[in-house]
Amino acid sequence: MESGGPFFLGQFPRLFRYFFSKDEMSGVSDLMFTQYEAIEELKKRQKDPVLRKKVEEYLLGDIPEYFNDGPILYLARHIVSPNFETMWFINSMQQLEMKIVVSQDSKGIFVPYNHVKKALCKLPICRRLLRKGTKLNEHYENVTIVDFNAADGKPFSGIQTFWGESLTGFHDRLFSEFVDGRVERPDDAAWIDRHHRENLLEHYKHLLALFMVHGIFFENYDMNDSHERYFVKNILRPACHFVERRFGYRPLLVELFPPSLESNRYWISYPNKVMDIVRESMKRVYTPSV
């Protein structure tokens, strides 16, 4: 097993510094904390048993088990996979010495027009990065691992790769190639079922309540994308305001990574080694272990 740390840190181009003011977070600045602010605020809230009790009562005691042994640093993804975005999160959080959790939703529905979901089935491999002045030229090679017609509209757990392995199983195996056991990667599908899966606004009210006192939620929002602008306006913002009114505090939300030269495509792409793993997988018929 290859450790994610040195390997992936060597893959990242130079980024702008990580600690930056909220004024630099366009579009969601009033909803977000800087990383430093969130950690300090979490320390204060952890000493407030009344706040913790209010959250637990609101969620009827249904707090995921991975919160049991202390506050967490949390990232939610459709499927846990070692793209550059997820690996940046893991490597940058390890220095904080808090538990890192990257969750997935195996019951989420695959739709090919969603570029993030598409990248889990047609993997963009970043072959090289060439920097010229202030511009970064990114070169990719794509490799398709599922039949898109067969996968369209199915939950991720019901999709198979061309070689017969489940899509979620493949990404789990891929993740294990780059990350050791220090990162928890639960499947939150059952919790989402119990907390308004079919109503995104109500679901986010419950989800964000977890990050009043139990941990810090990391995410990026691309305000140049019309779908994300809609999500921020109609889901994230009203859900944040709801939990703030109910509990008296904003949820602890932090931008996943600072502005950088890299494109959005880069962050959902993979290093060269992934191409070798896919090619080896395609040479065999997959037989699940018992």
Helices (H), the chain: 4-11, 35-45, 49-58, 84-93, 115-118, 148-151, 167-178, 189-194, 200-209, 226-231, 237-247, 264-267, 273-282
Whether residue 182 is predicted with pLDDT greater than 90 in this model: the reply is no
Tens digits of residue pLDDT in 137-164: 999 999 999 999 999 999 999 999 999 9
Tens digits of residue pLDDT in 52-66: 999 999 999 999 999
Domain presence at residue 216: no
Arithmetic mean of pLDDT over the chain: 89
Domain presence at residue 34: no
* The pLDDT value given to residue 287: 59
Domain presence at residue 243: no
Domain presence at residue 137: yes
Place of tokens 């779908």: 227
Whether residue 5 is predicted with pLDDT greater than 50 in this model: the reply is no
> Confidence class of residue 288 from pLDDT cuts 50, 70 and 90?
low
Domain presence at residue 78: yes
What is the percentage of the chain residues whose pLDDT exceeds 70?
A: 89
Structural domain of 130: 67-89+104-181+260-290
Tell me the pTM. 0.87
Domain presence at residue 210: no
Tens digits of residue pLDDT in 199-223: 999 999 999 999 999 999 999 998 8
Domain presence at residue 26: no
Domain count, the chain: 1
Domain presence at residue 98: no
> Is the CB of residue 87 less than 8 Å from the CB of residue 4?
yes
